[in-house]
């Protein structure tokens, strides 16, 4: 069925929610067109329904579609950044990668290859997980496209720089140690934000520091405040190609109950969104939002938080893509 869409500047936007009720029809992220409904995309939102790397509660394989379902209420204008991202550039939902749940090595290869394919024409990816294992192949693809190791901002309750679990190297607790070992991260410019909670031992922190990570803990965000944190992070990253990986468990379980390894004392969704908005103008090349596990969610609390985070990531990318262009000529009303 033909759907009325909000379109501007030649970009095909979301289904018009003033004419087709938000709750009708199959979900795509923000009711955007599927990638196969548009010529090409400047920004593709893609799902990776994979959770074979988890150490505790399973279920993040259902996260991608849960975030899509929870994104039906997003509107086309983002007042916090004064931008209509879907008017500025073509944004589309690229659907889900078909990832083998029984073979983690094959899954990682598939994700890396699909990410390379989706970015072959210059598109940028915002990936909806899936557990945090998927960040490793996404970072491999991002650094290959950047042609250099990339800076990373990692929002998480956890370090995810542990070595192995049950002897397994590829898990949701180990992607960033592997990434450092593989030389795909610019270790002058990598930071965790929002970490907290018990560790296995002090060696976890010593290893992490040795790899080059800076840490802004959840408590630092509370004590120093968003502006100081943003200033420090911007200073450390500069204009390097930047990948942002967001584990939704960075949020306090009150703000994101639907996740696999919850830790008390997290940041709020307001703080996360404010820190992200503070990254405006940075050289953002790719991003993911992972670890949404809908079985533990209520009233889409976690799904809505994740969908708003993804929307702000898309907004930052759209802003950056058009920052040097003239203000686009808008032909639509906000809905």
Ligand X SMILES: N=C(N)NCCCC(=O)O
Strand-pairing partners, residue 155, are 193, 246
Out of 87, 160, 186, 319, point to the residue binding Zn ion (CB under 5 A). Answer: 160
Regarding 56 and contact with ligand X (CB under 6 A), the answer is yes
Say whether 300 sits in a helix, a strand or coil.
coil
Return d(Cα 118, Cα 266) in angstroms, integer: 33
Return d(Cα 334, Cα 280) in angstroms, integer: 22
Angle at 126 between CA 122 and CA 130, to 5 degrees: 135
Shortest spacing between CB 35 and Zn ion, in angstroms:
27
Shortest spacing between CB 200 and ligand X, in angstroms:
7
Choice between 55 and 330, CB closer to ligand X: 55
Regarding 143 and contact with ligand X (CB under 6 A), the answer is no
Among ligand X, Zn ion, none, the one that 55 touches (CB under a kind-dependent 5 to 8 A) is ligand X
Choice between 247 and 312, CB closer to ligand X: 247
Strand-pairing partners, residue 298, are none
Return d(Cα 213, Cα 273) in angstroms, integer: 22
Contact code string over 208-247 relative to ligand X, x by CB under 6 A: ---------------------------------------x
Regarding 132 and contact with Zn ion (CB under 5 A), the answer is yes
Please check whether residue 212 is in contact with residue 187, taking contact to mean a CB–CB distance below 8 angstroms. yes
Structure tokens belonging to residue 228: 């100081």
Shortest spacing between CB 16 and ligand X, in angstroms:
37
Out of 87, 96, 220, 249, point to the residue binding ligand X (CB under 6 A). Answer: 249
What single DSSP character describes residue 82? T
Q: Which residues contact 3 (CB under 8 A, 6 or more apart)?
A: 15, 16, 20, 25
Choice between 160 and 220, CB closer to ligand X: 160
Shortest spacing between CB 152 and ligand X, in angstroms:
14
What number of other Cβ atoms are within 10 A of residue 250's Cβ?
31
Among Zn ion, ligand X, none, the one that 222 touches (CB under a kind-dependent 5 to 8 A) is none
Binding site for Zn ion (CB under 5 A): 132, 156-158, 160, 247, 249
* Positions in the binding site for ligand X (CB under 6 A): 55-56, 132, 158, 160, 172-173, 247, 249, 260-261, 291
């Amino acid at each position: 069925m033909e759907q009325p869409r909000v379109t501007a500047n030649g970009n095909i936007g979301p289904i018009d929610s003033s004419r087709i009720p938000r709750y009708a029809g199959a979900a795509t992220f923000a009711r955007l067109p599927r990638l196969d409904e548009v010529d090409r995309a400047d920004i593709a939102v893609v799902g990776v329904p994979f959770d074979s790397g988890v150490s505790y509660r399973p279920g993040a394989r259902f996260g991608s579609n849960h975030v899509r379902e929870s994104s039906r209420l997003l509107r086309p204008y983002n007042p916090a950044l004064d931008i209509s991202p879907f008017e500025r550039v073509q944004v589309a939902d690229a659907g889900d990668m078909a990832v083998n749940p029984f073979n983690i090595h094959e899954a990682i290869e598939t994700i890396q290859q699909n990410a390379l394919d989706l970015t072959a024409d210059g598109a940028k990816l915002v990936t909806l997980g899936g557990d945090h294992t998927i960040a490793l192949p996404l970072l491999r693809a991002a650094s290959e496209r950047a042609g250099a190791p990339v800076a990373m901002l990692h929002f998480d309750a956890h370090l995810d720089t542990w070595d192995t679990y049950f002897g397994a190297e590829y898990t949701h607790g180990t992607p960033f140690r592997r990434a450092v070992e593989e030389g795909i991260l610019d270790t002058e410019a990598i930071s965790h934000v929002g970490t907290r909670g018990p560790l296995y031992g002090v060696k976890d922190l010593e290893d992490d520091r040795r790899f080059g990570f800076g840490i802004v803990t959840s408590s630092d965000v509370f004590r120093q405040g968003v502006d100081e944190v943003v200033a420090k992070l911007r200073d450390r990253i500069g204009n390097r190609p930047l990948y942002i990986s967001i584990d939704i468990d960075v949020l306090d379980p009150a703000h994101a109950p639907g996740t696999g390894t919850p830790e008390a004392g997290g940041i709020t969704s307001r703080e996360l969104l404010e820190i992200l908005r503070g990254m405006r103008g940075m050289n953002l090349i790719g991003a993911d939002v992972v670890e949404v596990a809908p079985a533990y969610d209520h009233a889409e609390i976690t799904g809505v938080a994740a969908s708003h985070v993804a929307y702000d990531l898309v907004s930052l990318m759209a802003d950056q893509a058009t920052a040097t262009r003239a203000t686009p000529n808008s032909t639509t009303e906000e809905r």
